[in-house]
Amino acid sequence: MMESILGSIGLKSILPISATEIFRNLELYQREKNLIAWNFVNPERQRESLDIILTEDVRNCKIEQAKTDFGSLPVISLEDLIRMKSKTNRAQDIEDVRALRKLK
C-alpha cells in the first residue's frame, strides 16, 4: 500500500523489494546490508526523493515543517538528521554531515 501511495506522486523505491519484505527481514538487512533507510525517488526529477528511516524511532526526534510542492510536510530537524547520520560511518553519510553542518 505504501508503495502505491508514493507511486501516485511519482516516487519509486530504489530497492527492488516490497514493504512486506523489508519489514519481514529488517534485522537481516540492517546487519548484512547496513540498511538504514528505504529510499524513494522520482525517476524524472531526481531532486524529489524521500527516505523512510528504519533504524531510529523518529518519535524521539524534533519534527519541523518543510514547504514542498506537495504542501507542508513533517521532516526531522537538521540537528537530529546530523546526529543520525553521524552514527553510521558510511562514506555518503559522512559527506552529508559535512554539507548539513554548512547549512546550520
Judgement on whether residues 2 and 35 belong to the same structural domain of the protein: yes
* Residue 40 and residue 78 in one domain: no
Residues 19 and 40 in one domain: yes
Statement to judge: residues 48 and 67 lie in one domain: no
Q: What local confidence, expressed as pLDDT, does residue 26 receive?
A: 92
Supply 81's cell numbers: 538528521
- Residues 41, 72, single domain; the answer is no
pLDDT of residue 104 exceeding 80, the answer is no
- 11: nearest Cα among 37, 49, 38: 49
54 within 8 A of 37, measured Cβ to Cβ: yes
Q: Which of these, 40, 61, 63, 64, lies nearest to 50 by C-alpha position?
A: 40
Q: Which residue reads 546490508 in cell numbers?
A: 33
Residues 46 and 74 placed together within one structural domain of the fold: no
- The predicted structure's pLDDT at residue 83: 93
pTM metric for this prediction: 0.70
Query: Does one domain contain both 38 and 85?
Result: no
Query: Are residue 6 and residue 50 in the same domain, yes or no?
Result: yes
Please give the residue range of the domain that contains residue 104: 58-104
Q: Is the pLDDT confidence value at 23 over 80? A: yes
Residue 39: per-residue pLDDT: 92
Count up the domains in the chain and report the number. 2
Residues 68 and 50 in one domain: no
- Say how far apart CA 43 and CA 11 lie, in whole Å: 7
Residues 38 and 84 in one domain: no
Q: What is the pLDDT of residues 35-94, one digit of tens each?
A: 888 999 999 998 889 888 888 888 899 999 999 887 898 899 999 999 999 988 888 889
